[in-house]
Amino acid sequence: MIVSINGETRKIIWQNPVPSSVRFCRPIRARFIHETKDITKEEITYIEEQARNLKEITGMEVSVKINHNILLTMVDGKVCNAATDTASTMRCYICGQTSKDFNKLEIGNVCEESLKFGLSILHARIRFFELLLHLAYKAPLQKWQARTAEDKNILKETKQKIQ
């Protein structure tokens, strides 16, 4: 929680030490239904509406105004894809590019709305480690995909050496 008095001197008076902890971050509701794109969008709208409906807190001759800003950063890739209308899981939900387009920097159009989902640290670490492994596997090939039988053999041997 950051306090600002008369628009000046921002001071952190409380910061959640573990944002993913159920001790400080309780679920708003639980639904036992099949997860679809429409249900995901409905849940996001519901959560955002709950945040908008939070009221100003007053008491003891002191008025405290809290601006609530919800950031859905603890969601997985499936939820991000559904919320941003990204049709394929092989596309980045932030820029819409596939892995073969990532090196074409002039194409990169970042959708500002998609940035509100952030990147989970755990997800980023897992994906980064996966990327390092894939690069290590394919380093002898110097190609992203192994299409020929010979390339597939080299890839298989390299994987066995690393693992």
Instruction: State how far the Cα of 115 lies from the Cα of 123, in Å rounded to an integer.
Output: 15
Residues 78 and 102 in one domain: yes
CB under 8 Å to 60, separation ≥6 — which residues?
A: none
Residues 29 and 100 in one domain: yes
Residues 27 and 107 in one domain: yes
Residues 86 and 162 in one domain: no
Residues 6 and 77 in one domain: yes
Residues 115 and 127 in one domain: no
**What pTM was computed for the model?**
0.59
Burial class (CB in 10 A: 0-12, 13-18, 19+), 53: exposed
Residues 113 and 133 in one domain: no
CB under 8 Å to 104, separation ≥6 — which residues?
A: 97
Q: How confident is residue 65, by pLDDT bands cut at 50, 70 and 90?
A: low
What number is the average pLDDT over the span 31-56? Answer: 89
* Residue 45 pLDDT: 93
